[in-house]
Each structure stands twice: as structure tokens, then as C-alpha cells.
Amino acid sequence: MAVNETNILNRLYFVAGCMFIFGIAVVVKLLTIQYVNGDKYRDLAEKRTVENKIIPANRGNVYSVNGNLLATSIPKYDIRIDTKTPKKKIWQENIGPLCDSLSKYSGRSASYYRENLRKARAKQNRYYLLARDIGYSDYLRIRNFPMLKFGAFKGGLIVEQTTKREHPMGGISMRTIGYERTDEDGNVTRAGLDGAFGEKYLKGKDGQRLKQKIGKGQWKPIVDYNQVEPQDGYDIYTTINVNIQDIAHHSLLEQLEKYDAEHGCVVVMEVKTGEIRAISNLGKAKSGKYYEKRNYAVWESHEPGSTFKLMAIMAALEDKLVDTSTVVDTKNGYKTFYGRGITDTRGYGKISVGKAFEKSSNIGLATIVDNNYSKKPNKFIDRLKQWRLHENLNLPIVGEGNPVIPQPGDKIWSRNALPSMAYGYNLQLTPLQTLTFYNAVANNGEMLKPRFLRQVKELDREIESFKKEVRVKKIASDETIKKAQKLLENVVEYGTGSRMYSEYFSMAGKTGTARTDYGNFEEWKKDKKYVSSFAGYFPVENPKYSCIVVIHKPSTKVGYYGADVTGPVFKRIAQKIFTDTPIIDEIESLEVKNASVDKEFQGYYQTANKYLTIMPNVVGLPIMDAIALCENLGLKVKIKGSGFVSSQSIPKGRKVKRNQTIVLELS
């Protein structure tokens, strides 16, 4: 018995000793954690529960010249549910009403949500998506649905907020307005104005704040005297006029659809300032629909065709080598230059240089340039370089196409280079580069850099403003400029653009038609592709706007000449600007009736004020233009018949009052 008791006591002592040693070890470990490694573990705990969180700065807005919002940042929300969180009672009482509410919101059946949420809870899905990419008002609505209204800890509500860039005008001018995007690898893509001015003006500076994790992905701010507040980005005011932009967009779209073209662009520039009032770029998707695919006006260098004849003839005029009355022999519509034939649409025989330009004679222009520059080609090239046609425009928008102006010694130079260049081949320009030259002619020789930005502001405080930037002070003498202006006017009145002529408003410009994708000429002949264009300005007497229209690869079954394809777009834009956009609205200084007016705009101001009270003549106008003009005067319009206006109930010159009714008879 004594032996057994001794064994039991020994065992007890052994167990007690082990427990004592274990206790000592625990105490030692606690003391080690507390005093030896305390700082290490406290830092680790703090890193896991307290973090320096970024406070994103709000990106600045992009506005049109007349204050319309073009791009802005708005919050978007994804709503999810942790199906494991709600207690059984809360789940059972609220799952039915929640599914009913979701059904009313989305249009899907309640049974659809009931079945999917049941499966999600069975799998303990803690991240089930209920709604994606919704706006703030929808977010407020859904967060108050049954079960979700109990929040994250009882109802399992998970809300994820992001900021997205929205374009209130939709797809209109989206490529020019642009964006800035960062991919998963941190690579930044900057397109258009939003991308170009993002880093300098729109982006702002992020702030930072200490936050403590309180569970389930929830963080709360804690007092931090070193907190850095975010600085929101500045707002930029562009030169885009939304009214003119809308006119340009729809005029281009209508013609692209009519001719089943591959893509096209339109640019409208204010002559005196170089400010871009509208820029539309539309390409055809596989579905056949057109959208803002690429910024063709800025990016796409191509052979301009006959619109380059203006540069060729001005070089010869400025060098005093020809005059508009000089006779040039265009033969019978075919002439060989160094073994290569050049053709015209018809033979004109011996005609004046001016007539050759009006009729867009390839032979005429090739003969002028070859006869006068073949022995001194650098003289012609140097003239083009004086106009900086070999340089890009150094635009803020990324991706401008580089011009190509060959010179002797280049790979693409040959004896045929000069005759080809005379009518717009063997060289490349972007539409905007071509328009910049035409705008200089309209502006009496002063070449301006195209400008997209008017002002940078922080709320109502101006940060920076931008004025016109001169590229070439004077591209030619007044004599040459006047002759060039007259030539462009004659093209519309008597030449290849005569179908565009209107007695109601004046236009000047040049048609262009160029082959494209003709590397293999035999293959090209099987499926001919062209680029149609028109560049010019209006009105002739005191040019306000210059404009270029370029359409690539129209269906040859419908038509492909510049006068047919792009000329009507130009005319439509000019016509709609005159009727839909009151001239007085285009003059910035005229905010009130008695505002001061620059002398150069006096004629527009007087016309606008006069036609606010005096009935104009609308006989002969298309009905939509007549309606627009009458409604701009505050008149109520009644229509009889169809077609063009044949008579108006209120005679031309009579004073009119707002809300007065006018009857337009059509025939």
C-alpha cells in the first residue's frame, strides 16, 4: 500500500512540476512578447489595423466655350451581399421582401433572386453581386431594401464605390474630349483634351488620412494632425461650341451613311482666333453603325488630293511665275509627264490659270509647277517649308500625324514628284494641317495654330487663359492672298463646287478627290477607293469660320467626287450655323444688349439685332432651315405642302413679335 501511495505522490509531483515549468515558460514568453519584442508586435498590429489611406482628389470638369459640361467625374457603386452574415431569423423574415424589391428595381423575377440567393447562402458566398455600376440615387434606393437596410454587420451589405468619367454629350466629339485611363500594370493612356491636360490641370493632388480597420473591410478615420487634404483638379474651358459641334456631327453622319463610307471627319475653326469650334470623327463599326472611332482629323496623314492645289498655285503666284490670267494648255484631258500620264475628267484645252484652278485641272496645275520649278525644285519645296507645311502643329492632343513633304534626295523623290505634288499626291497632310493653311488664307495671310483650350479655372477664379498663337505672320503678299481668295470664291460660284452655291450666304473653298490604297494599281482598278474632301471658309465678305470635311472610301456606286460627297456637308454646316446658331451668340462680348462690340464684329452684331425684330426672306430655303430660322426669331411656324419654301405669310422686312404665327407654303 505504501508503495502505491508513494507512486501516486511521485506522479502528482511530476505533473505539478510540469505544470509549474509550463507556467514559468508562459510567463517568460509573455514577458518576452511584452518587453523584448513588444515594439515589433505593436508595429505589426498597427500596420494591420491602421493604414495611411489615400483621399482621391476630384478630377476637374471639361466645359465647352459656352459653359456646357463635356466631361465630369461621378460616383458609381457596386452593391453586394455577404450571405453568411445575416442571422437565420433576419434572413428568413427579409429574403422574400428583398427579392421582391430587387425584382421591381431590375425587372427580373423575384423567383430568380430567391433561387440564386438561396444557393449563395448555402455555399456561404460572402461576395454576391446584386447591382453593378449604379448611380447615387439607385444606391440610396437599394441600400434601404429589406435586409440590406440593417447594414454590413447585420444585413451583410457591401458597398464598393468607384469614380467614373462621364460625357454628358454622349458619343459626340468623344475622341476629342478624350480620357485618361490606367491599366492593371500602371500604364497610363491619355487621349484627347482630358488626357492632354489631365496631368497639368485636371488631375489635382491626392490627400491622405489615417484610418483604422473596424472589421469587414470597414475603415474609420482617426484623428491625425498630419492629415493632408486633397486638392481638386482645375476645370478647363475648351473652344468647342456644342451647337456647332452638334451640327458638324450630324451633317457628317448623314453623309457617311448615305455614301456607306469607311470613315470621315469635320473640323470647324474660328478664322480670327484659330479656336476649334467643332471637330467630329466618325468611323464605321462592324455592325455598320458610326461612332467616334479615332481622331482622324488630328491623326490621319494622307494624300490630300486637289485641296493641295491651293498651295501649289499660291507658290507660283507668290514667286511671280504666273498670274491668274496666264494661259496653260491642258490638252484634251490627257498629258504625259516623264513617261507617266495625268488625266482630267474632261479636256479643257488652253485655259487661264484661274480657270484651271476653278475646274480643278490636274494637268493644268501639274504643267504650271513642272514648267516653273522642274529645274529648281528646291524653290518650290522651300516655299512649302516657309509655310511650315513640313512641320506638325505641335498640338496638345497626343497622336498627331506627321506631314510628309518630299525633297530632292529622298527615297520617294523622282522627276514625277513635282507634277504629282501639284495636285496633292506624293505628299501627306492631316485634315487639320490642311485646314490651318486655308484658315490663313481666310485670315488675310496670318497663319494661326489651332487651339482647343480657352481658359483654366478653379471655381470662379481664373488660373490661366490662352490667346491666339501665330505660326506664320504672313504667308504671302496681300496681292497673292486676294487672288487666292478670289480663286476659292470662284470655285464655289463657277467651278467644281458650283452645286454648293447659295444666294443666301457666301462660301469659298476647294474640292478634292484623291485615290487611296492604289499601291497595286491593277488591284485598285477592281475596287476603286477614293478620299473626298472640301476645305474652305464662310462668309466670303468677312470670314468667320473655316472648315474642312474629309470622307474616306465612299461607295463608288453612289459617288466619290468631293463636290458630291463632302461639298454638301460643308454647305449644310455653313447653312445650319447661319440659321440654327444666332450670330449674336457667337460674339463673346455681347452678354447684354448694350455690350461693347469689336469693330470686326459690328456687321454681325447689327445683322443679329436687326433680324431679332425684322422678318428675313426664307423663300427658297429647305423647310428645316426655314423653321429653324423662324423659331430663332421666336415665331410659331405652320406649314402647308412639302419641299422648299415658296411663300411666307409675313413679308420680308416686316417687324415681327415673339410668338407671332407665320405660315410657310412649300412646293
Residue spans in the chain of domains classed CATH 3.30.10.20: 611-666
User: Which candidate, 232, 162, 418, places its Cα nearest to that of 308?
Assistant: 418
pLDDT at 41: 57
- Residue 455 makes CB contacts below 8 A (sequence gap 6+) with 236, 237, 462, 464, 465, 466
Q: What percent of the chain has pLDDT over 70?
A: 85
Mean pLDDT along residues 314-330: 97
> Which CATH number applies to 611-666: 3.30.70.20, 3.30.10.20, 3.30.1490.20, 3.40.640.10?
3.30.10.20
Q: What is the mean pLDDT of residues 493-519?
A: 90
Q: What residue type is assigned to position 203 of the chain? A: K
Cα(first)–Cα(last) distance of the chain, in Å? 134
Is 428 strand, coil or helix?
Answer: strand
Cα Rg of the chain (Å, integer): 36
Residues of the chain above pLDDT 90, percent: 55
Cα 53–Cα 458–Cα 222 angle in degrees, nearest 5: 20
CA angle 46, 47, 48 (to 5 degrees): 90
* pTM for the full predicted model: 0.75
Q: How far apart are CA 293 and CA 505, in angstroms?
A: 33
pLDDT higher at 554 or 196 = 554
Instruction: Write the pLDDT tens digit of every residue in 572-613.
Output: 999 988 776 554 343 333 333 333 333 433 443 344 344 445
What fold does the segment set 242-584 form as a domain? Beta-lactamase (3.40.710)
Cα–Cα dist 353/326, whole Å: 6
* Packing angle of the helix pair 309-318, 478-493 (nearest 10 deg): 140
| pLDDT (mean) for 380-385 | 97
C-alpha torsion 367→372→373→374, nearest 10 = 60
Instruction: Name the nearest CA neighbour of 645 among 632, 657, 661, 629.
Output: 629
Task: Give residue 612's pLDDT.
Answer: 44
Question: Which residues in the chain are classed under CATH 3.40.710.10?
Answer: 242-584
- Residue 81 belongs to what H/E stretch? strand 69-81
On the question of pLDDT at 222 being above 90, the answer is: no
Instruction: Quote the CA–CA distance of 470 and 465 in Å, as a whole number.
Output: 16
Task: Count Cα neighbours of 46 within 13 Å in the Cβ-side half-sphere.
Answer: 9
The strand pairing partners of 337, in sequence order, are 340
Do 204 and 59 form a contact (C-beta atoms < 8 A)?
Answer: yes
Q: Which residues contact 104 (CB under 8 A, 6 or more apart)?
A: none
**pLDDT digits 0-9 by tens, 408-446:** 999 989 999 999 999 999 999 999 999 999 999 999 999
Give per-residue pLDDT as tens, 389-415: 999 999 988 889 999 999 999 998 999
